[in-house]
Copies of this chain bind each other. A is one copy, B any other.
């Protein structure tokens, strides 16, 4: 029976873990903040597509070191934050055959893990899901709920296919893609732009960000810098991507990005994974990105203020 360990089982980890557990995978979790209630009662999940249900993991750990045997898949769903050594976090549970699955935000977030575990297969996943934690152990699945998954740095694998099948069987659409890094860059075109802008003016929603012709021109110019960086990094994007993103964002009700919500709630923001790594890739490849540089400088000031406030 396939064993899966979810490390950092917050909202995304719990929801995806519950889906994987539906058809027999042994899903254990490492969760620190809600450990007591999750160990006692499992997760209380409200979901329109998976149904309201209780997810009782096979085992609940407070720390990765408590895991008795390396899992077949170790799924990492923690935030990517400076100072958090994700490789050291998962090392105690990674066996020689463990497939490491990164379901996280940002670009260039795999290299550090790949370098630390050169013998292990790495899968990289992009979650498309609206899900939040409403209280300790309580997960509210609001919208969407799918995953794009691929082998890092590129290609496909039987392990990816098997995991995708388990997700699909559990009710989470999972597409295996050949170039997951290109897909990460695609997502970064939206994320690096909207997330960064959204924390200005404490905070701006998508409708305000796209509120005028001038503001849309600015968003477009910022997105063009991400596209130029992606292309220089070997991951050119579709010429219509920016149009599609702007039209798509305008077509749905105003909302706040994950970074805006983190800012409002005083939680750490993934500025480095989403924007900092984009800016560093631009510098590495000699791409001039004055708008992203400005957003990055401003975001770091806001982060410094936000940290000081806590």
Nearest chain B residue, comparing its CB with the CB of A289? B290
Are A201 and B300 touching (Cβ within 8 A)? no
Q: A297 is contacted by which of B215, B290, B301, B302 (Cβ under 8 Å)?
A: B215
Cβ < 8 Å to B, chain A residues 282-306 = 290-291, 293-295, 297-298, 300-302, 304-306
Cβ < 8 Å to B, chain A residues 237-291 = 263, 290-291
A263 CB contacts on chain B under 8 angstroms: 201
Cβ < 8 Å to B, chain A residues 206-256 = 208-209, 211-212, 214-215, 217-218
A249 to chain B, nearest CB (A): 14
- A11 adjacent to chain B (CB < 8 Å): no
A308 CB contacts on chain B under 8 angstroms: 208
A199 CB contacts on chain B under 8 angstroms: 201
A217 CB contacts on chain B under 8 angstroms: 297
Are A294 and B290 touching (Cβ within 8 A)? yes
Number of copies: 2
- A204 adjacent to chain B (CB < 8 Å): yes
A216 to chain B, nearest CB (A): 10
Are A302 and B201 touching (Cβ within 8 A)? yes
A257 to chain B, nearest CB (A): 14
Nearest chain B residue, comparing its CB with the CB of A219? B297
Q: A201 is contacted by which of B212, B214, B215, B305 (Cβ under 8 Å)?
A: B305
A82 to chain B, nearest CB (A): 14
Name the residue in A197, A300, A305 with the highest tally of chain B Cβ atoms < 10 Å from its Cβ.
A305
Are B291 and A209 touching (Cβ within 8 A)? no
Are B294 and A208 touching (Cβ within 8 A)? no
A residues contacting B by CB (< 8 A) are 197, 199-204, 208-209, 211-212, 214-215, 217-218, 263, 290-291, 293-295, 297-298, 300-302, 304-306, 308
Q: Which 7 A-B pairs have the closest CB atoms?
A: A202-B202, A201-B302, A290-B290, A218-B297, A294-B294, A200-B200, A208-B305
